[in-house]
Amino acid sequence: MVGGVVRGRHVRRCAASDGRVVNDVRRPKVVAWMAHIAVLAAVAVPGPVGSWVPSPNRTPSADLFATVEMVADVRGPVTTTTPLDPGARSDGALGHDSTMLEPDTAMEPPQARPSAAQPVPHPVTFVRNRWRLDGNVSWYGPGFYGKRTACGIAMTETLIGVANRTLPCGTRITFRNPANGRIVTAAVVDRGPYVSGRQWDLTGGLCQKLGHCYTGPLSWRYATT
């Protein structure tokens, strides 16, 4: 180890194994750590800033308080959302001299529902027994004279009747010929016709009365009398 003075300072030096001289660095490290500790102490422990301990004998200043005025009246709607029930809505007027009552005494008596003028009913007549037009009405007779019908009536050239496949025997039907306006009422005396699309078959006597001894249109309806 070699000691000496450099520019007025005492410097400790150490000789390394390879012959180099190394300065002693312990002193700068110690100085740096001390400075770091001093800075931390100054930040963590601040000094007094003029605070004082609360005392019951000290009166707070009146300037610390603001004057608050109470509003006695409430005007306008008290809610931003309109209730669904009209009875729960507020009239928006509550004064300081208002009197609060119990719900049973504050309720108004129920009012009678206003009477509205009702329309006068007018009778309507529905005609059920209307005329129906059949465009395929036929007639029969020759070859059946002298025999009995399905309803047990003797078939003659003057028998006024009509054949139908479903209506009961004796059912009275009124026919009207649109070509000449003749109207004749006859009873169901036989079954038929057995041709697709036909429901009436006139006897020889009925076709003579109506002037309809051919296949064509006739109007019909159930007899009222």
Find all residues with CB under 8 Å of 95, minimum gap 6, and list them: 72, 73
Q: DSSP label at 58?
A: P
CATH number at residue 141: 2.40.40.10
Only one residue has tokens 């306008």, namely: 76
Could you report the per-residue pLDDT of 36-80, keeping only the tens digit for each? 787 777 655 555 555 555 666 667 777 777 666 555 455 555 555
30 found inside a domain? yes
Q: pTM for the whole thing?
A: 0.45
Q: What confidence tens digit (pLDDT) does each residue in 162-189 have?
A: 999 999 999 999 999 999 999 999 999 9
The pLDDT mean for the chain works out to 76
What is the number of structural domains in the chain? 2
Do 158 and 140 form a contact (C-beta atoms < 8 A)?
no
Least confident range from 55-64, 192-201, 209-218: namely 55-64
Q: Which domain holds residue 212?
A: 132-222
Question: CA 95, CA 170: separation in Å to the nearest integer?
Answer: 90
pLDDT beyond 70 at 85: no
Say how far apart CA 28 and CA 11 lie, in whole Å: 13
